[in-house]
Structure 1
Amino acid sequence: MLKAAGASLRRALAAVSTSPLESSSRLIASSSAVQGGADEHHGYEQTPTVFDRLVTINVVDLDGKRRSVRAVVGQTLAQVLVEAGYPRTYFFPNMGFYTQHIVDAHVFIPQDYWSKIRNYKEDSDEADAIKRTFRDMIQDYAKSTSYLASYIDIVPEFNNMTIGIGPVKPWVLHSEWAFNGVHDDPTPQFKEPTTEIWG
């Protein structure tokens, strides 16, 4: 009986096993199929790059000069303006309780793009900071299209959008930020970019 069981086991193994050459061919074929499938979904031409996240923003400065700057999706508009080298006198500290280290700017945004800007609840800390910044920094320079650059996240739909930089009229500023209403200081806000887009 044990002999018969052994014989049937040998027959079963012989039916399943193949020569080493056949096994190698089958392995190569299956590997190629998997590789081909991967190429169909993750080919080189479909791999996203930083260039896919670049948009162009047209900026009109306080002197009325128009300039196109590059922005990366996900940055704030304030970061974009800082990295573009606009003068430090265009910027001021955000008036949020925990965000006064964040540099901000008064900007005019076309009505067509307002639906793409993040909305904040009336009783939120962000809404309070926005109100305080308008009250303390922008005052009577505010228009219906005014907003704060640090609260605007760059999205692909902003490509070729034209914005204006608005003036500010601060009541009280720390001496390091004070500029007496002068907007033509050529010194940039920062000498180095705040975000390295090629990294």
Structure 2
Amino acid sequence: MALRALGKQLMGPLATSWVRCSSSTPTVFDKMVQIFVIDKSGVRHTVRGIEGSNLATTLQEYGQFKNDNFMPHVFDPAYADCHVYVQGDYLDKLTPLDATEEADQQRLVEHYVRGHARDNSRLGYYIKLSPQLNGMTVALGDVELWETQ
């Protein structure tokens, strides 16, 4: 008790204004979203990304996954894309896509994922990190970049 009182005397009004500023100003940590990723070897990784960024870019920046998991996004080559299987509980929490984006994603999954596609297959480029996705688990899926006839 005595130390707390001494601290208040020493800090005075400065302590009160510091607390007020720090509690009202969001930090980058307030915008972090934690995702669990299971790689193709079955190893679980904890990946943190910034709210609003796409999952594929976040996974590529994490730097622990092989480059063969990623490909340039067909419509936006400046960004990476990857195939993931989304945990069922989180499918309804994904940011809804407009009709064009939904059609594009479906076409790309059919083209690049083909025999590996499931109902929970998604492309990471289309998954925008949001607070609702905090704690989501995804598994890296296979991609077939070259069609074989």
TM-score range, shorter chain: 0.7 to 0.9
Amino acid at match of 2:120: T
Q: Secondary structure at the match of 2:52?
A: coil
Corresponding position of 2:68 = 89
Is the 1:139–1:170 contact (alpha carbons within 8 Å) kept by the matching residues of 2? no
Q: How does 1:21-170 map to 2 (within 5 A)?
A: 43-85=21-63, 86-96=65-75, 99-122=76-99, 124=100, 126-170=101-145
Structure 2 CA distance for aligned equivalents of residues 43 and 169 of structure 1:
51
Query: Which shows bigger deviation, 157-166 or 141-150?
Result: 157-166
Q: CA deviation at 1:112?
A: 1.5
Q: TM-score, normalised by structure 2?
A: 0.77
Q: CA deviation at 1:55?
A: 2.1
Structure 2 CA distance for aligned equivalents of residues 113 and 72 of structure 1:
18
Structure 2 CA distance for aligned equivalents of residues 45 and 136 of structure 1:
48
The answer to which structure has the higher strand fraction is: 2
Structure 1 CA distance for aligned equivalents of residues 48 and 70 of structure 2:
19
How many pairs were matched up? Answer: 131
Q: Secondary structure at the match of 1:160?
A: coil
Q: CA deviation at 1:171?
A: 3.1
Corresponding position of 2:146 = 171
Q: Secondary structure at the match of 1:69?
A: strand
Is the 2:109–2:121 contact (alpha carbons within 8 Å) kept by the matching residues of 1? no
Is the 2:53–2:129 contact (alpha carbons within 8 Å) kept by the matching residues of 1? yes
Describe the superposition over 1:124-173 as per-residue Cα deviations: whole angstroms up to 9, x where unpaired: 2x23421331122100100111101000010112222111111112334x
Q: CA deviation at 1:101?
A: 3.8
Residues 70 and 171 of structure 1, relative CA distance in 2, 3 Å threshold: same
Q: TM-score, normalised by structure 1?
A: 0.59
User: Based on CA coordinates, which of the two structures has the bigger radius of gyration?
Assistant: 1
Unmatched 5+ stretches in structure 1: 1-38, 173-199
Unmatched 5+ stretches in structure 2: 1-16
Is the 1:95–1:130 contact (alpha carbons within 8 Å) kept by the matching residues of 2? no
